[in-house]
Structure 1
Amino acid sequence: MDLDFSEEQEQFRAELRALLESRLPDDWVGIFHGPDEYLDLSFSITREMAERGWLTQTWPEEYGGRGASNWRQVVLQEETWAYFEPRGGQYMGVNWIGPAIIRFGTDEQKMRFLPRIAAGDVQWAQLFSEPGAGSDLAALRTKATPTGDAFIVNGEKIWTSYGDYAEYGVLLARCEAGSERHAGLVVLLIDMSTPGIEVKPIATPLGKHKLNSVVFTDAVIPADAVLGAPGDGWRVAMASLAFERVGVARYARSTRILGELERLPEADRPEIQRDIATALAGARVAELMSYLVVDMKERGEVPTWQGSAARVHNVTLEQRVSAIADRVLGPMAIVDSHDTAAVEGGEIEDFTRLAPTGTVTAGAYEIQMGIIAQRGLGLERIR
């Protein structure tokens, strides 16, 4: 594997970085931590990326992409994640929802959904987790009962990011009565404005409102919303999650935060300098684990446990960096990112507050370790 980016890829990085630095305000730490106008700013930047051909550059040309190398997309992921994801939730459409539709969707679904994702002007929501089915997703109970040319959906999804302004959602539900676990599931591409769908905010201590529950009460979803085939929902969902887990360069933000900590006067202590150096080495490991997955994709292989291993390295790195920030800044490490006493524009504080959630969201740490044990090491599942 050649670990050096090409001259063309580094030129792209410079152009992308220049765009972000010119458009993002000094107090930018993502769309959830600022005035409402930051959501409009996010859409504006994403549309500009799309106009420049950057947003879906690795997609096939017939679907609005450029057929570019996965390594060029890595550059986009590294820079956007380091800059607190100016695309907002639209990275979901680019990283895994769009690719899932390309792989499993009908021609009509591709024509309907892919152009808007490629144009950077639509938000989707992921509707998988439930109050009793988070890490154990196969325990889900939301029902999509087939009736004529539609499904009647009843149930609740939870921890739904972007659900309050998403236009569409990817819903995993149980479509076969009496089915259990992985059998009898369906993935539906739904219009979030459908009658019978209610989005409720969930309060958290993590700053501005971010998470939602979504309640379905006799919501009628047309049969042509099925992605893949009824009963095959588990395979479609797992393929989609595989796209998701390799689409975020989390190590880039950890490296940025370590650089900011290193510049602070409080970090002059030898023990802190040692911890920062050790964490930087860990960031390189997380980066290389992620690059391994990208290299597999570039060669046409399908990552399995390798994506989980990369994620484990990335999220545990974030928590190590957060612990260093706690030692350097003390209680100030978790003040509101817009507090006048916040350092580095609030980036360190926002990072530190969110780091503990990394081992829970998008596939809990224990689940990822189980995937590594079974698929990577060949160990037997004992429960």
Structure 2
Amino acid sequence: MEKIQFKTQIWTGDGSLKGLEDISGQRIFVVTDPFMVKSGSLDKITVHLESKNELEVFSDIQPDPPVTKIVTGIEALQKFKATLLVAVGGGSAIDATKAMKFILKRMTKGETDLDLIAIPTTSGTGSEVTNFAVITNADKGIKYPLVTDDILPKVALLDAELVASAPQNITVDTGMDVLTHCLEAYVSINANDFSDALAEKGFQMVFTYLERVSKDGSDMEARQKMHDASCIAGMAFNMVNLGLNHGIAHAAGAQYHIPHGRLNTILMPHIIAYNAEMDSGIMEKPNQAAVKYANLARLIGIHVANPKIAVRSLINTIIQLRKRLKMPATFQEYGLDSELFHTTEDEISVAALKDRTTSANPRVPEAADVKRILEDSFS
């Protein structure tokens, strides 16, 4: 028996921010990043909250949020005596707020469990509807996934106006992260009919709208569709976990500090080929992952009877999309130092196997498999 539930209420579409005006009498601790404050973008949110509530803004957030910043945030929200958390930003701000919520509840032995409203300003992580958060031990260079329903936001607010000014590189990095989420959820060992339906829809939406919004950031229909696709993909992988693509990305990202979506995109073709056992030949009987990848290929117009040929076409289609989006194809093309790569690949290979997302991968990898994928991704 499987128990499937969606605890997060989703506010989406035009005027979603106005829903915040129904909140009153709260001491709201707003967690965001410095850019949101300096650019004035945060004002688009706080203007709907400040007349009926007390607000405290905490903006000491950075990419790959370290544990030290989370502890600082907890101290600040306790001093403020917060009654509600609002996270505004990309995955880092939302993940940091989730970690604050979780640790505070543990510290107070369950007496303080604050509701969380997540307002993403990038269309990629899906963090607004997931029980995942990733925090970093900066001293050790290790990312730790936190996975518990205790960190699920109460509300996810999706308003495309908040991503309208996102630059092209951020748009495509986060958009390709959505694609990775869909692919990994779809072939996860935990996949079910519900997660498949969400992953299929999100996958189609990325291929329909990502290139459009990459070319024209003012295309608000495409902006909203990618914002929704990110959330849909988050709902999918929140049910069934991810896979080796993210396992390697978490481990490598802590070492190389390559933007997460870009790192996932470099790895993606090699992960698909590994999971589908493409090295065994296209005429060999396809495994379950190959069959499912072929299903996705058909959804974007690749009609090939042989599943492995369909997978090969899917890989080529993704590579061509990556090229049109002007994204690097290899670590070397990104500019990663060769010496750094070769001195860390063994450590990354071991760390990737320990990552909780890797446990849902359709093939059970060994360190040698991960190292081979890394080397194929380097040049």
Q: TM-score range by the shorter chain?
A: under 0.3
Normalized against structure 1, the TM-score is what? 0.28
Normalized against structure 2, the TM-score is what? 0.28
Larger helix fraction of residues? 2
